Amino acid sequence: MQAVTDIAEEILQLKKRRRAILLAHHYQESEIQELADAIGDSLELARRARDFDGDVIAFCGVWFMAETAKVLNPRKIVVVPDRAAGCSLVDACDVEQVRAFKRLYPDHAIVSYINTSVEVKAESDILCTSRNAVQVVNSIPAEQPILFLPDVNLGNYVKKQSGRENMKIWQGACVVHSTWSAKRLTAAKEQHPDAVIVAHPECPPEVVRMADFVGSTTAIIQWCVSADAREFIVMTESGVTHSLHKLAPEKRFYFVPNENCNCSECPYMKLNTLEKLHACLKNLEPRVDVASDIIERARLPLERMLAVK
Ligand code: 13P
Ligand code: SF4
């Protein structure tokens, strides 16, 4: 087996040779984040993909994020270390069900979370991420009925924040965030009474209600770094510790293990490894391919989202 430093060195050389950019989501292993040209939440990574000017995007995240990069930059080669890096929210929202809904309720605007397949994006009017979901919904005229999909917890959070009544919500959930319970959070708070609570909006409403701050992964990191507090209970995937420890080494961060795996990790994100990243840059596989008509149709809702301030 090759030493990590050797593989890392070879990845950097391959990256140069391929004229590649390495984009990493906050939930990736530290050793991958360490090599990345950009680390970010799904919104930031989409923007970086849009603005990239080389030949290859090595997307260290999950498949739907890489598809988004492909839609924004169709002439580039987009690779992901592991093809099986999916997402339970994507699985919860089949495109045929979305088409059936549109036939039944043609007057509804479809607002899709970026955690959807590219085919579902192509059926949507506008997309959103956890960072801009409230602004996206607020950008739609008040009288326009909405279907928000697929995350039920994010949907409920947005509905509450926007005060929007005419909004139907799909019933998908994240296998990681949705399994955190108020009971375990309360126990963590008893153990760390001085800690403030930060949560991703994919968490259940009872967890979100207990939080001092709710936001996307990058928003959580920025808030923790600038807050006066010294201790934090962090209700999102534990990959964010990479940036938290770098940006605020003097602060303490606690994670609450979820009921299923007793950990705080996304099983899909963690499929990507340094070895697989090396192989994918070498072989330019697994490669994201999206039909050109789907790219055309998915680009419009994506660009509408990127235009929302
Ligand atoms: P972010 O938009 O915060 O990156 O979230 C994406 C995601 O998959 C959270 O589970
Ligand atoms: Fe999907 Fe949840 Fe993993 Fe995010 S943490 S990629 S929403 S399964």
User: Is residue 56 located within the same domain as residue 133?
Assistant: no
Give 103-154 pLDDT, tens digit per residue: 999 999 999 999 999 999 999 999 999 999 999 999 999 999 999 999 999 9
Alpha-carbon distance 306 to 193, whole Å? 39
- Predicted confidence at residue 7, as pLDDT, reads 96
Cα(207) to centroid(ligand 2), Å = 17
Nearest-CA neighbor of 62 among 29, 28, 96? 28
pLDDT above 90 covers a percentage of the chain that reads 96
- pLDDT for the residue 260: 77
pLDDT at 133: 98
Burial label for 34, CB within 10 Å (0-12, 13-18, 19+), is middle
Q: Is 203 in the pocket of ligand 2 (CB under 6 A)?
A: no
Contact 238, 30 (CB under 8 A): no
**Which of 152, 174, 196 is the last residue before a domain boundary?**
174
234-256 average pLDDT score: 98
pLDDT band at 68 (very low <50, low <70, confident <90, very high): very high
Do 244 and 273 fall into the same domain? no
Give the whole-angstrom CA distance, residue 11 versus residue 229: 38
**98 by DSSP, 3-state: which?**
helix
Q: Are residues 184 and 137 in the same domain?
A: no
162-188, pLDDT tens digit by residue?
Answer: 999 999 999 999 999 999 999 999 999
Ligand 2 centre to CA of 13 (Å) is 30
99 and 156 in a common domain: yes
- Co-location of 114 and 71 in the same domain: no
Residues 112 and 71 in one domain: no
The answer on 75 and 32 residing in a single domain is: yes
The CA-atom distances, in angstroms, between 152 and each of 44, 102, 122, 233 are 23, 18, 20, 23
Would you say residue 5 has pLDDT above 90?
no
Indicate the top mutation candidate among 28, 120, 177 to test ligand 2's pocket, ranked by most ligand atoms within 8 A of CB. 177
Pocket test for ligand 2, best of 87, 120, 149 (most atoms within 8 A of CB): 87
* Domain span at 164: 89-174
What is the tally of structural domains in the chain? 3
pLDDT mean across residues, the chain:
97
Asked if 199 and 207 count as a contact pair (C-beta separation under 8 A), the reply is: yes
Q: Where residue 1 falls among pLDDT bands split at 50, 70, 90?
A: low
* Amino acid code (one letter) for 300: L
In a domain, 297, yes or no: no
Task: List, for residues 257-267, the tens digit of each pLDDT value.
Answer: 887 788 899 99
Half-sphere exposure of residue 262: CA atoms within 13 angstroms, side-chain side: 0
DSSP at 269: G
